[in-house]
């Protein structure tokens, strides 16, 4: 039986869990928003399709938020701000402790929600949620993180001290690739600092945000402190132009990030925009080749390459290293187990959408046309029972050169390019000349080379024999060059700085009270 939804034919048997039949009418399950502590149903008639990428089919829809919807969320957040900002940090931390407990308790259910809409394996989903959980753990210590400086006697009987105050209503705009973790980079820090928050998650993967909103409510977060609206450019523009939003955190592609930064700044908002990447891993002749190969398999193909910290370029120093690397990688890439997230033993799921699928295949075609050697071709794979899914097997290119499109642009798929260089200096220059500067790694046994690289790479996050150097939550995450706009890294101490305003107070008190005449103090009580 086929059901037409717009121009997409749907197999009802595969969708029985999400389509309700009422009086012979077919209603697509619609994801609500979360505003002022309750589910909120938009009046917007524009609907966005949400896919299960393994099936290649629409499983539910969400209304595309209008300006009115965004305004409703901001109004709720604005109303909740004064009381929440005045709540002692230790009380805010108690909500974080409860939220942490609830998320830990429901990890498997949460991972299922992430994987169904994104396509990543359950293990990947659990891993990424766990990295988000680390940020919540950091926020449980917010009373300490908000402690500030005090200088006694900056002048005769004058003291100076800093306090950091919350900004007001903050907004987050997040990408599809980490439906739970990237929002968790933002809102736990924002709200534990005393702000209220409006999250606009990727319209491709909204259910994880709704899940977190419900858990925050269960944890005792007051209504209006955390709100979720889902939409596309219309909703984003409404956020960027809204006069009551003080700060915007964005994570996504560079072209959109630059737009968000410019437009948000024009509207006087504090903006942090973390963007696209092309991460290089240098393999030196003295590297442990087995370790380097393992690292590349995980870093290039994990999560189907849809990670902003994925390694997409392996820079082999010397032909001998390159030949060895290709020989070791080839069978591993060919044998990657690709399948749907809910099948066992899977290493790599589908890519997120038909659009991504076509784009990645287009890059592979371009790579071939421009003269790179496709050593492993993962195109055209079919998975039994998931024939319409957006699956691409691991792809490995050798002899990629810096003038090629597949070297210059972010592919965001399971495609690794090997670039051959003659020496370390050329490798370092490649890393530094690339427009992106998110992450990089070097594999070597030589401390001097490693140290030189860590000091001289123009990149925000550097790994030494660590392929994906994503900082733990109490450090901060952020790239350089066109991988970031606005200069603020995310979470950790930088996150606290982003979500608070510095105030410096200089105080002198008049003398005379200590005599006790006004307050009838007993002798010695002012000691």
Q: Which residues of this chain interact with ligand NAD, rule CB under 6 A?
A: 173-178, 182, 200, 202-203, 232-233, 236, 251-253, 256, 274-277, 308, 410, 412, 438, 479, 483
| Closer residue to ligand NAD in complex, CB, 209/246 | 209
Give the H/E segment covering residue 502: strand 500-508
Q: Which is nearer to ligand NAD, 254 or 293 (CB)?
A: 254
Q: Which is nearer to ligand NAD, 195 or 483 (CB)?
A: 483
At its nearest, how many Å lie between ligand NAD and the CB of residue 65?
10
Strands (DSSP E) found in 377-474: 395-398, 415-421, 436-437, 439-443, 461-464
CB crowding 230-252: b at 16 or more within 10 Å, else e: bbeeebbbbbbebeebbbbbbbb
Cβ proximity to ligand NAD: between 240 and 283 the closer is 240
| Short-list 235, 183, 180, CA closest to 63 | 235
Tokens read off for 153:
């006697």
Report which of 252, 147, 111 is spatially closest to residue 493, judged by C-alpha positions.
147
The number of beta carbons lying within 10 Å of the beta carbon of residue 346 is: 20
Nearest-CB residue for ligand NAD:
252
110 or 485: whose CB is closer to ligand NAD?
Answer: 485
**Which of 170, 275, 308, 395 is the catalytic position?**
308
Q: How many residues does the chain have?
A: 527
Residue 264: CB minimum distance to ligand NAD, A: 11
Query: Least distance (Å) from ligand NAD to the CB of residue 169?
Result: 18
Q: How far apart are CB 519 and ligand NAD at their closest, in Å? A: 56
Residue with smaller CB distance to ligand NAD, 263 or 399: 263
Q: How far is the CB of 368 from ligand NAD (least distance, A)?
A: 23
CA distances from 304 to 24, 29, 299, 393, 449 (A): 40, 28, 10, 8, 31
The values of phi and psi at residue 251, to 5°, are -135, 130
Measure CA 296 to chain center: 21
CB of 468 to ligand NAD, least distance (A): 12
| Least CB distance to ligand NAD at residue 209 (A) | 10
- CB closer to ligand NAD, 64 vs 326: 64
Pairwise CA distance, residues 176 & 237, whole Å: 18
Check the CA dihedral 364-368-373-374 and report its sign: positive
CB of 113 to ligand NAD, least distance (A): 17
Q: Are 371 and 397 in contact (CB under 8 A)?
A: no
| CB 125 within 8 Å of CB 474 | no
Residue located via tokens 């939409």: 231
Q: Do residues 247 and 498 lie in contact, with contact meaning Cβ atoms separated by under 8 Å?
A: yes
Distances 100 to 90, 130, 212 between C-alpha atoms, Å: 15, 10, 11
Query: Is the CB of 304 or the CB of 326 nearer to ligand NAD?
Result: 304
Does 170 qualify as catalytic in the annotation? no
- Catalytic machinery residues: 308
């Amino acid at each position: 039986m086929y059901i037409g939804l717009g121009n997409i034919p749907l197999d009802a048997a595969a969708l029985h869990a999400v389509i309700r039949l009422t009086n012979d009418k077919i209603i697509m399950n619609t994801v609500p928003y979360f505003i002022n502590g309750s589910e909120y149903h938009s009046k917007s008639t524009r609907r966005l399709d949400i896919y299960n990428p393994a099936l290649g089919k629409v499983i539910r829809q969400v209304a595309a938020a209008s300006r009115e919807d965004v305004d409703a969320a901001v109004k709720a957040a604005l109303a909740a701000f004064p009381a929440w900002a005045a709540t002692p940090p230790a009380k805010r931390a108690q909500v974080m402790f409860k939220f942490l407990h609830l998320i830990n308790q429901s990890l498997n259910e949460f991972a299922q929600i992430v994987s169904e809409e994104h396509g990543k394996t359950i293990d990947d989903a659990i891993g990424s949620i766990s990295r988000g959980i680390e940020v919540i753990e950091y926020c449980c210590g917010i009373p300490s993180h908000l402690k500030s400086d005090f200088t006694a006697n900056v002048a005769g009987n004058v003291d100076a001290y800093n306090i950091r105050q919350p900004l007001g209503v903050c907004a987050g705009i997040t990408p599809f690739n980490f439906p739970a973790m990237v929002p968790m980079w933002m809102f736990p820090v924002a709200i534990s600092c005393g702000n209220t928050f409006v999250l606009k998650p990727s319209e491709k993967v909204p259910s994880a945000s709704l899940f977190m909103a419900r858990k925050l409510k269960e944890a005792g977060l007051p209504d209006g402190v955390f709100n979720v609206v889902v939409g596309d450019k219309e909703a984003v523009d409404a956020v960027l132009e809204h006069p009551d939003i003080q700060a915007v955190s964005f994570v996504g592609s560079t072209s959109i990030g630059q737009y968000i930064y410019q437009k948000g700044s024009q509207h006087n908002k504090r903006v942090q925009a973390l963007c696209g990447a092309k991460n290089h891993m240098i393999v030196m002749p003295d590297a442990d080749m087995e370790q380097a190969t393992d690292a590349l398999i995980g870093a290039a193909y994990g999560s189907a390459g849809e990670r902003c910290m994925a390694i997409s370029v392996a820079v082999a120093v010397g032909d001998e290293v390159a030949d060895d690397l290709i020989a070791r990688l080839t069978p591993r890439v060919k044998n990657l187990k690709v399948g749907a997230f809910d099948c066992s033993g899977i290493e790599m799921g589908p890519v997120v959408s038909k659009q991504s699928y076509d784009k990645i295949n287009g890059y592979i075609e371009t790579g071939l046309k421009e003269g790179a050697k496709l050593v492993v071709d993962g195109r055209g794979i079919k998975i039994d029972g998931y024939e319409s899914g957006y699956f691409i097997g691991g792809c490995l290119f050798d002899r990629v050169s810096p003038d090629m499109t597949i070297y210059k642009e972010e592919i965001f798929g399971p495609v690794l390019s090997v670039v051959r260089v003659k020496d370390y200096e050329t490798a370092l220059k490649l890393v530094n000349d690339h427009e992106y500067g998110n992450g990089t790694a070097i594999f070597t046994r030589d401390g001097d080379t490693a140290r030189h690289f860590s000091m001289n790479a123009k990149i925000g996050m550097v790994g030494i024999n660590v392929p994906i150097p994503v900082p733990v939550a109490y450090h901060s995450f952020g790239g350089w060059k066109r991988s970031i706009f606005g200069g603020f890294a995310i979470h950790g101490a930088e996150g606290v700085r982003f979500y608070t305003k510095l105030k410096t107070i200089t105080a002198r008190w008049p003398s005379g009270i200590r005599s006790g005449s006004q307050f009838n103090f007993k002798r010695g009580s002012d000691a």
